[in-house]
Structure formats: structure tokens, C-alpha cells
Structure 1
Amino acid sequence: MVAMQGFTQRCFTNWKNPSIPTMDWTGTALAVAALIFFFHALTWKTRANIKRLPPGPRGLPILGNLLTIGGKPHQDLRQLALKYGPIMHLRFGLMPVIVVSSPEAAELFLKTHDLVFASRPPHEASKHISYNQQNIVFSPYGSYWRNVRKMCTLELLSNHKISSFRSTRKQELDLLVHRIREAAAAGVAVDLSSEVTSFSTDVACRMIIGKKYNRDDFSEKGFDATIREGMQIAASFNLADYIPQIRGLDLQGLTKRMKIIAKDFDDFFEKIIEEHVQSQDENRVKDFVDIMLGFMGSEETREYRVERDTIKAIILDMLVASMDTSAVTIDWTLAELIRHPRVTKKLQQELKDVVGTKRTVEESDLEKLEYLDMVMKESFRLHPVAPLLIPHAAREDCTVNGFHIPKNARIFVNAWAIGRDERVWTDAEKFYPERFEGSDIDVRGQNFELIPFGSGRRGCPGMQLALTVVRLVVTQLVHCFDWELPDNMLATELDM
């Protein structure tokens, strides 16, 4: 689980997705202009009166630079940053946006001025789906967020709690290996993405809500489909996030969909909570819902301020983060290993030396696998699961590197661009794990050349669990199987 980061993998990409209602952008622009011209005229300032903002491209009236961003925003923003610099100013609708694209700039925003940029901007989807932003991901900085994060870090995602589910992960991984072995014996091609996603879903459900759920246990659409629709809506480009004056019009039909999916989520979470409240089994391992319910109404833990809606919002956060992001990271890593047989053979040799061939990989083996560590760092560098980290928001006016950063500006940290910065990485586009040999660069947020989990106060609280799950699955699948592409497909033909 790359906790609290999962749905940003598709941030801004779904606004052109055919499954999302789309619009005629020319007509929309005219409609929006007519509706908010008055508001815009009241707030407009000429460039001569604005403090020294970072450089950036001029935008259109009302829409700003929105139309310059396509289906791969991290790549589009990187190209703009090559022209305007690692701290760049854009305008999305009426909202100022600062794009950060270098390790040095990331350190300024995520460490030097961390407290100033520790909040989140308003987010329409989270307001509807996550109980008015009571989740960890989009909750604004303040006492509520600090208390909830503290509870998650100490009570749900501590090393002790992660270790308590070791047998759960082993059981589900054994099932995954068994399914793949059966397919291999039958000579059937394996849909690896589907298998890994099922594994991630089952592990997440058992840890968070105590049991696995079938596809038909969650609304008419089914469990997986409902969760993924919620993720898709949350990651969809919503004009109302950038032009608040048109929020009530719901021009894209997203609010209507949010309300429907929010009702599905709420019904399901109520069912989960009631099952836990009514449970009489004192011997079962306590899952995350059990722990959070233990804090409701407790005088000893009033600092956590846990209410029923808080529990629901955190359940959703944990499920989304666990189900999607770990599976995506495993997909990218295995795809690179298939494309680079030399790397795969070297990793398999390390596994033979450390683990042997008479048993499967255990979690206790992971810290001994040095080349695995290099492989995972290289995968995170090239394919961060959240290419643009979840936006930060400026809590007050601030000066960074001589530039004025206005209050409420959205800060986008382009982790994908940082990982491919040619000033930092030799042959930056090449998958070459050996680049980390003898290097002290880590992924835990202290080295800003590599920040797949973010850094600072809003860094990923589930990082250790994510690293454990991802490394365990990759090593087990590489240790147990030799992989090749189907139908004589060449590795160079694999679309990355």
C-alpha cells in the first residue's frame, strides 16, 4: 500500500477518459466565462501589481493553463518546466498552481517550508465521498488531521501491527503462487495484473475489515467495481475544483455520480461497522476497524476524536491505498524485469544465495536482499505510483527561493520528473538498478532525488507496509517462476 497516495496515479488523466462524461470545451469555456465574468473582474490583478511569482506560461482568460495539460500531465508539466524552470507558476481556472520539478525545489517545499505547505486544497470528490474531507489524504492541516494521522501511525500502521498480519500476507501469497502454478501447468497465459490486484484486494480487506468480500457483496456493481469507480471519480479532472463559482451547476455530471457512489460506500461501511459491533468472537485477530471502534467514546483516547464518520473515511482511505497502489507498483516492477532478463537473472541468483531453492521467501529475508533493494528503488524512480504527488496547499503567503507563493496556491510536486532529472541521474531513462550500488539514496523521504512516498508532514504513513508487501510479492514471483511474454512477443515491444 502506498497509503494515501493511491488515486493520484490518474490525477488529471481521467478528464479525457471515455467512461467519464465529457464536454465541448469551446462551449464550456464560453459558458463558464459568462457565468463567472463578474467574479473574475472583481478579483483580477494586472501583472504589474502582482508580487514576483515564479515564471510560467501565460494562460487564457478564465481557464488559465488548463488546456495545455493533456492525458499525461506529469509529462506535459515536465516539458513546461524544462522551459520555465523547476519552480513554475501556472493558473488552473482561477487557482494559482506552483509546479515543483527538481530535488532542490522539492526540498524547499517539503522540508524547509514544510509547515507552510502542509495543508491540502479543497477537493470536491473528497467532500462527497470521504465525509467532507475527514480522510487522511485530503483533510486540511490542523488538530483533526494531526490526531487522525497519529492514530493511524501508532495504532494501525506501526511495525508491531504490520507484523501481526504476517501470516495473512503469507496465506494470500501462497494462494497467488498456487493459481499461477496451475495456469503454468496448463500452458495458459497469466493475466498478471489481474492476479496481483486480486491479491492486493484480499490482503487489504483482511487487514482492514477482517475478511475478504466477494464481487457481489458491495452494491449492484460489485465490490471491486464500486471501489474503482470511486477512485476514478476522485481522480477525475473536475472544473469545480478550479472554478468554485460553477460548483452548483455540475457541468460535468460528476457531483451526481459522487453522491450515488457515496451512498454505496456509506451503506457498505455501515454494514462493516455493525458486523464488528455485533461480533462475539474474542479470539480473532483485531483488524483496523476493531481498533478504531475501540477509540470511539473512550475517555482515555479522546485525543484521537474518532467518530463513526471518521472510521468510514479512514476505511475508504486504507482500502483505496492498499488495493491499487501496491498492485500498480508490482506491475511496473515485473514489467521492467521481463524487459531486462539480465536484471531478473541477477535477482534470481541473489534469491538462490540468500533463500535457497527448498523454501519460499519469508518477510525476514527481505532486508538481506541488497540487489532487490536496488531493483525496487529503480522501479520507484522510473514509475512512481503517484507521478504528481497529491497537491499541497499554501497555508499563508510565503517566499521560496525569491519567488512569491500566494496563500491557497496548490503545490504540485512532479515526482516523475524528479526521478528522470538528467542533472541527477546518468542515463535517466534507462532501467539500471546498479546505479544505486554504494549509494545511500533511499525512498523514505530524506533524499529528494527519490520521493515516491512524498516527504515531510504529508508523507505516506503506510510506507513500511507498502515496502513490505511490494518487495515480498516481487521476490516470491521471481523466485518461483521464470517469466516470458506470450505469443513470442519481444521484450522491446512491451508498451511502457
Structure 2
Amino acid sequence: MEYVQLLIVLFIVGYTCFYALSSNSRRRRSGKLPPGPYPFPIIGNILQIGRHPHQSLTKLAKIYGPIMYLKLGSIDTIVVSSPEIAKEVLQKHDHSLSSRRIPAAAEVHDHSTKSMLWLPVADQWRILRKISKEQVFSVSRLEASHGLRQEKLQNLYDFVHECSINHQLVDIGKAAFIAALNLMSATLFSGDGAQYNSDSSQELKETIVGMAKILATPNFSDFFPVLKSIDPQRIKHESKRYFGKAYSILENMINQRLKLSAESLDSVDKNDFLQALLDYSRNNSSEFPSDHIKHLLLDLFAGGTEAAATTMVWIMTELIRNPEKMSKARNELWDVVGRNNKVKESDISRLPYLQSVIKETFRYHPTGPLLVPHKADVDTEINGYIVPKDSQIFVNIWAMGRDPNIWSNPNSFEPERFLQREIDIKGQDFDLIPFGSGRRICPGLPLATRMLPLMVATMIHNFDWKLEGGMKPEEVDISEKFGVALEKAVPLKAFPIKL
């Protein structure tokens, strides 16, 4: 460890002179960089970002404008904070600004070279995108697997019902994570990921949580790529362990399915994504080798679970904080579906207020407040400024969701605004782009728009919620914790009351 520390010190001393010269040279050479705060030597503007980057960048944008330049360590960074410029980046100049800057933690086990999330937009990425669109998230494929998701929603209902009978406090974040985990498992693998009242069968859950935590940890190696080989914080080492565990679990699932197929005289009767991938790989092995299956599964499974669970917690937080909103959503369910009938995926389009609650949560508590950063492949002119080649680009949708020039009463939770204003969340209306836009838009959007309404409906259709310790609804904490997803800092716990 002393040797590593010495290397870091020597690097910093040597880099100070280089940074000062290169930074001044860059500014003189470019001349048209967007405005931004002046960077400190070596660290640049890192200290001005803090523990809540989305909030800090929003405050800075009020000073420097909707397109802003910062230096984070040695990395040129562009921050976009308006729908108009977001459209320029994600749509008009999508061809030159759609690459990724790969974090060190994602480079383990060759994941960054086989992952749809991190691959550049080239042939391999297009193949993976096509497979995801046609084999997983097509309407026919999702319809075929809806019965599996209904079963997992029933499990969620049974858990909440049992807690209501036993007057048991529910950690809504944990329940939401397990529900999302099982819904994704049902769609992808036709199986369960975890159980609600058991410490066993939690291996996949613990692995996903561990991966998210390590990916969310600020890493010196990402600010100073020359440190990647040293891995001073051991983040890459820990990432390798978690990714290795995840791949081991997925490989076991794949091998079990292959064994089942080999032993069965008929084809395996599965409507899940895993079987579709195995069949596709068998028939198209040159463009999609079987060893790529686990990487695609991990992308979709881990990303979908974390995002859905986090969004669900924020939805329930706001509904509990605003009892009249919960009553309106529940009354809509009773009017459209009935008090004793189960909510089905086919009911979603007839529940405009419930959909408005979800859209308002996307606006007010976006799971990915800065989206996944893009990277410029070439120098690109945006709004009269140069976005330098290799710079990373943040689109601050958290700032856009709180902008009073776009939204009336932006700091209030008002689902009703979406009953009066037709808005698309599929990447075409840049006032609200929770899933991104352009070619890098989240591939899981079709599944998310099915899962979330049903998860919320399961939690409120036949239940009211009472806070512990006599806490009043308006006292529920809504402070945020920045990470892979923008989580609620204080866990949400409440007692379900059967209606």
C-alpha cells in the first residue's frame, strides 16, 4: 500500500505541471468552449460537484447557462440542462455524441467489450439492440410472458396482505426491490430471484445490490484514467468479484436450461428471454456467440431491477406524503377495475391518473438524474459552442424537471398536470425523458411501462398505508442519495391497512 501511495504522490506532482499547461492550452486552442467555473489544478471542478452532483450542477447551470463546461480530474465534461440543448445532443447530433466513457469498474470480465450499455454504436451494438427489441421487448414477447409477471405480482400482494394481518411494518424499498427482481426474473428466466420473508435464495439480490454499490462509488481511476492499472481504491478488484459472482449465477441458469433442453424430447416450453436468446444464438452463432448471452442478460436484469425498484419507492413516498393523491389513484382503480378484481396489463391504458402519478414521479424524482453519460467521438458544435472530442456529456434531467420555465409549481408533486398536458415519455418530448432519447434510449422502456403501473396498483388497490410512530404524511423525508440510481436516503417504512 505504501508503494501505491508513493506512486500516486509522484503522479500528482508530475501531473500538476502537465495539467496547468494542457488546460490553458485547451482553452486557448478551443476558444469556444461553453462557459463554466474555473477549474482548480489537477482536481478541476470535482470539489464543486460534491455528494449530490445533480443538485450542484443545477445550481451551477443557473450561473453559467444550459450548456456548461467543467473539468473533472483530467476529463472534459459538458453538462446540458435544457430540453432544447438535450435535443441537440441526443437527437440532432446523436451520431457523433452517442459513445460511452467506460468506468473502470465496468471493464472487468470483458464486460465493457460485450455489453450493450458500454459498446460504441457499431455492428456488435446494433446486433444486441436488435435482439433486445425483437426477442425481449416486442409486444408479442411481452404478451407471451405476462402470465409469469401476474404470478409475481400476486406474490407481492400476498406478502403485503400477510403483513397487514400481522400488523407488520413493511420496508417498502426492500419489498419493491424483491418485487422488481422477481418480475425481471420471471420475464427473463421464468423463475424467482428472491423471497420476501426468507434470508435464503437471496444470492442474486445480494449480488445486484453489491454491483450497484461498487459502480456508484466515486473512483479516482475514472477522473484520472492513468491510475486504472494501479486501482488505488481497489474498486476494480471488488467489481471483478461481484461481476464474477453474477456471471456464475447466470451461467448456472443457462446450463440448467441447456440440460433441460437436451433431456426433453420436445422443445422446452418457455416464453422467457433466456430461451429466445439460446434459440437465436443457436441459429446465429457467428453474430451472437453463446458466451455473449450472460452479458446481455446482466445488462437488462441489473439495470431494470434497480431502476424499477427505486422509482417504485419514490412513487410510494409521494403517495404516502399526499394521501389525497393516493385516494384518487385508488378510486380510479376501483372505478375501472373494481374493488375485488385483479389489475391486468390490459387495464393500464384505462388508468390515466395512475399513469400521471408515474410520469410526475419521473419528473420529480428521476432514477437516472444525469442519464448515462455520453461521449463525443469528434469535436461537435452545439448552440455555438464546441463539445470537445472525448469529453463526457451529462444531460441533467433532474434540473429540467425542476425548471419553473418548463413546469408550474415544479417543487410540488402534482400528477394532475399530466391530465391537462399530453406528454410522451418515449424520448420524443424533451421536457420529460426519463429513459433518455435517440439510439441510446433505454431498451427496457416497454417492460418498465408495464411493470411500474402494476406494482403501484398492487400496493394501493386494496391497501392504505400508515406511518410508524404517529408520523404525519408531510413529515416523510424526501432527501436523496446519489448512486447508480437516485435513491431515497431514508428508508420508507409503513404499515399496510387492508381495505
**What TM-score results when the alignment is normalised by the length of structure 1?**
0.89
AA partner of residue 460 (structure 1)? C
Contact 1:453 1:463 in 2 (8 A): yes
273-282 or 57-66, which moves further after superposition? 273-282
Q: Alpha carbons of 1:211 and 1:220: their partners in 2 closer, same or farther (altered >3 Å)?
A: closer
- Which residue of 147, 158, 162 maps to 2:142? 162
Contact 2:100 2:373 in 1 (8 A): yes
Contact 1:445 1:451 in 2 (8 A): yes
Contact 2:96 2:378 in 1 (8 A): yes
Higher relative contact order (CA 8 A, sep 6+): 1
In structure 1, the partner of 2:454 is 472
Name the count of aligned residue pairs.
469
The CA deviation at 1:224 is 1.6
Whether 1:294 aligns to 2:279 is yes
In structure 2, the partner of 1:230 is 211
- Which residue of 417, 441, 448 maps to 1:435? 417
In structure 2, the partner of 1:183 is 163
The CA deviation at 1:218 is 13
Does the residue aligned with 1:131 lie in a helix, a strand or coil? helix
Contact 1:119 1:140 in 2 (8 A): yes
AA partner of residue 494 (structure 1)? V
Q: Deviations over 1:440-494 (max 9, x none)?
A: 2121111111110001110111111101100111122211111221221111110
Q: Alpha carbons of 1:135 and 1:339: their partners in 2 closer, same or farther (altered >3 Å)?
A: same
Does the residue aligned with 2:107 lie in a helix, a strand or coil? helix
Q: Percent of pairs identical after alignment?
A: 34
AA partner of residue 289 (structure 1)? L
Contact 1:126 1:133 in 2 (8 A): no
Cα distance between partner residues in 1 of 2:387 and 2:51: 27
Whether 1:271 aligns to 2:256 is no
Does the residue aligned with 2:229 lie in a helix, a strand or coil? helix
- Which residue of 211, 215, 224 maps to 1:243? 224
AA partner of residue 126 (structure 2)? R
Q: Deviations over 1:168-195 (max 9, x none)?
A: 1111111111111111112222222212
In structure 1, the partner of 2:297 is 315
Contact 1:123 1:138 in 2 (8 A): no
In structure 2, the partner of 1:391 is 373
Cα distance between partner residues in 2 of 1:360 and 1:287: 23
Contact 1:130 1:313 in 2 (8 A): no
Q: Which runs of 5+ in 2 are unaligned?
A: 479-499
Counterpart mapping for 1:204-215 below 5 A: 204-213=184-193
Does the residue aligned with 1:132 lie in a helix, a strand or coil? helix
Q: Deviations over 1:226-261 (max 9, x none)?
A: 221112222222221221112111111112212222
Does the residue aligned with 2:184 lie in a helix, a strand or coil? helix
- Which residue of 314, 317, 341 maps to 1:332? 314
Cα distance between partner residues in 2 of 1:359 and 1:88: 51
Contact 2:132 2:443 in 1 (8 A): yes
Contact 2:144 2:271 in 1 (8 A): no
AA partner of residue 242 (structure 1)? F
In structure 2, the partner of 1:33 is 12
Q: Alpha carbons of 1:45 and 1:131: their partners in 2 closer, same or farther (altered >3 Å)?
A: same
Contact 1:381 1:419 in 2 (8 A): yes
The CA deviation at 1:163 is 1.3
AA partner of residue 428 (structure 1)? P
Q: Alpha carbons of 1:129 and 1:377: their partners in 2 closer, same or farther (altered >3 Å)?
A: farther
Whether 1:128 aligns to 2:113 is no
In structure 1, the partner of 2:491 is none
Contact 1:55 1:87 in 2 (8 A): yes
Cα distance between partner residues in 1 of 2:54 and 2:301: 25
The CA deviation at 1:132 is 3.1
The CA deviation at 1:123 is 2.3
Contact 1:196 1:327 in 2 (8 A): yes
Contact 2:35 2:68 in 1 (8 A): yes
453-462 or 180-189, which moves further after superposition? 180-189
458-467 or 126-135, which moves further after superposition? 126-135
Q: Alpha carbons of 1:93 and 1:142: their partners in 2 closer, same or farther (altered >3 Å)?
A: same
Cα distance between partner residues in 1 of 2:202 and 2:319: 35
Whether 1:258 aligns to 2:239 is yes
Contact 1:218 1:268 in 2 (8 A): no
Whether 1:57 aligns to 2:37 is yes
The CA deviation at 1:37 is 4.8
AA partner of residue 197 (structure 1)? F
Q: Alpha carbons of 1:252 and 1:42: their partners in 2 closer, same or farther (altered >3 Å)?
A: same
Q: Alpha carbons of 1:188 and 1:214: their partners in 2 closer, same or farther (altered >3 Å)?
A: closer
Contact 1:389 1:454 in 2 (8 A): yes
Whether 1:424 aligns to 2:406 is yes
**What TM-score results when the alignment is normalised by the length of structure 2?**
0.89
426-435 or 110-119, which moves further after superposition? 110-119
In structure 1, the partner of 2:28 is 48
Whether 1:372 aligns to 2:354 is yes
Contact 2:344 2:454 in 1 (8 A): yes
In structure 2, the partner of 1:490 is 472
In structure 2, the partner of 1:361 is 343
Whether 1:381 aligns to 2:360 is no
Q: Alpha carbons of 1:387 and 1:51: their partners in 2 closer, same or farther (altered >3 Å)?
A: same
Cα distance between partner residues in 1 of 2:202 and 2:110: 20
Q: Alpha carbons of 1:478 and 1:297: their partners in 2 closer, same or farther (altered >3 Å)?
A: closer
AA partner of residue 281 (structure 2)? M
Cα distance between partner residues in 1 of 2:308 and 2:54: 20
In structure 2, the partner of 1:16 is none
Contact 2:359 2:415 in 1 (8 A): yes
Cα distance between partner residues in 2 of 1:31 and 1:221: 44
Cα distance between partner residues in 2 of 1:294 and 1:37: 54
Does the residue aligned with 2:291 lie in a helix, a strand or coil? helix
Contact 1:377 1:442 in 2 (8 A): no
Q: Alpha carbons of 1:41 and 1:384: their partners in 2 closer, same or farther (altered >3 Å)?
A: closer
- Which residue of 178, 190, 198 maps to 2:178? 198
Cα distance between partner residues in 1 of 2:432 and 2:259: 45
Contact 1:218 1:226 in 2 (8 A): no
Cα distance between partner residues in 2 of 1:279 and 1:39: 59
Q: Alpha carbons of 1:455 and 1:270: their partners in 2 closer, same or farther (altered >3 Å)?
A: same
Q: Alpha carbons of 1:220 and 1:38: their partners in 2 closer, same or farther (altered >3 Å)?
A: farther
Does the residue aligned with 2:466 lie in a helix, a strand or coil? coil
Cα distance between partner residues in 2 of 1:32 and 1:360: 62
The CA deviation at 1:296 is 2.4
The CA deviation at 1:376 is 1.2
